[in-house]
Structure 1
């Protein structure tokens, strides 16, 4: 899943992005609203995390404009403004969640993932493909009851394939959803990761290569 973090404090932005990446999310970072506007124009994000008060303006007004324009990206306001009236204003402007600084990192991750689920990209919470169980809440994968040790990135790719089981998912889409803007779309990062994932999933193989397109996770009914 891909998340945009908008925060002008460099240290906090880095910490938030690192925490989300550590949980397997792809994260792009910007420091102001003009950069956020550009990022949201070119990329379909599953969630955007906005510091509310930025040097370039109050993100509340920016999000309200997004909603008036019909933009539906889920938004989490991350702010030190802790009055009830502030939280009400955030929701009224179109925010989907509101987290007060200082915050606990596990709570931030849980809230971001919840917003990604609202976007329709992580449901159902447990995927069962053949003898593989993919638990998106616990971030665990089992095959024939045996727990598999996947990296965060491997889990992220498998999660996308499972959500689209028996459908071809392009390399470009996997890059878009599972890697941030630092990834090189022309590189072989997807192919290398798929090879690793196939080894860990074992036999019989579940991931097919769709020539000229990308990959698909087969349910077993036709593979």
Structure 2
């Protein structure tokens, strides 16, 4: 399961890779559950014939889905990933799934722990060609005490047989990976009917990903650290 990802560091990437204008509030770069980040969705008015309405829009939201019945934002700490095998049943996700509230989470990389050396090593996983990832997700809007609050979750699939992702997390744990969409499928996903959603729940090819230990920026005068 992915609880940590790297948001886009360059605002221009929103335009070139996802054809959207970045929101004024872009949130954190080092993203964890409960943090405010960015997701991309299809506006309700898209396709209406109004040329002023874009096909995609980027919105700031909480990483961790907050369904309408959530009591507070703390639930986001447990709803940042949605298993594709159970998403239709879990109360936290089923309304968004059944309503086809599809979104894309833009990320320069995701991070997973590699336990093979005995001590967990945070590992950066990115697309081999260096382009951002577009991760399939679901979004929702929650009525908070101060107004509407958007939120999102990443969809995941089993990765026990994935050449790269099977190397992460503890040996006894099931291997999982987020659903990384092919670039050509972005609009297909955003416009898909709920009955078509499962067609997109696939592993991303291992040979199109690269992994390396996470490097922590050093303090002045010190050496880089590997975690």
TM-score range, shorter chain: under 0.3
User: Greater Rg, structure 1 or structure 2?
Assistant: 1
Higher normalized strand content (fraction of residues): 2
Higher normalized helix content (fraction of residues): 1
- TM-score (normalizing by structure 2): 0.25
